[in-house]
Amino acid sequence: MVKAKNRIAEKAALLLKIHSPIHSMVWLLMAIYIVEVILTAWVADDGFIAYGTVRNFQNGYGLVFNVGERVQSYTNPLLVFVYIIISWISGEPFYSLLLINITTSLAGVFLLAGKLPQISGVGGG
Amino acid at 35: V
Q: What is this structure's pTM?
A: 0.62
Split at pLDDT 50, 70, 90, the class of 109 is confident
- The answer to whether the beta carbons of residues 27 and 113 sit under 8 Å apart is yes
Q: In the predicted model, what is the mean pLDDT of the chain?
A: 77
What are the pLDDT digits (tens) for 29-67?
878 887 887 788 777 777 788 888 898 999 999 889 888
- Show the 3-state SS of 21-87: HHHHHHHHHHHHHHHHHHHHCCCCHHHHHHHHHHHHHHCCCCCCCCCCCCCCCCCCHHHHHHHHHHH
